Amino acid sequence: MNTIVSSKGQIVIPQDIRERLKIRKGQRVKIEEVDGAIVVFPLPKDSIRALKGSAKIGGESTKIVRSLRKEWDE
């Protein structure tokens, strides 16, 4: 598919692609350059909410902090 870059550097994502990827007006996307090509990734509507639950609570960082606090107390 071909499109034209506007004077502002904007492009139009064709409607059929927007529909398949469920990209809506105002939705944020991530743009990367990969091996000389431009790649556009749709981001979840709320990126913060999408990350919810991805961090492991009580994991390695908690152990490190506890160890450092113990050292400081000594």
Instruction: Judge whether 39 lies within some domain.
Output: yes
Instruction: Judge whether 9 lies within some domain.
Output: no
- How high is the pLDDT of residue 46? 67
- pTM for the structure as a whole: 0.53
Decide: 61 and 68 in contact? Cβ < 8 Å.
no
Residue 34 identity (one-letter amino acid): V
Per-residue pLDDT of 38-63, as tens digits, reads 999 888 776 566 666 666 666 677 77
Q: Where are the beta strands (DSSP E) in 4-72?
A: 29-34, 37-42
Instruction: Judge whether 56 lies within some domain.
Output: yes
Instruction: Judge whether 48 lies within some domain.
Output: yes
Per-residue pLDDT of 23-35, as tens digits, reads 889 888 889 999 8
Count of structural domains, the chain: 1
d(CA 28, CA 23): 9
Instruction: Judge whether 32 lies within some domain.
Output: yes
CB atoms under 10 Å from CB of 13, counted, come to 14
- How high is the pLDDT of residue 50? 62
**Structural domain of 19:** 15-73
Q: 52, 48, 30: which is closest to 39 by C-alpha? A: 30
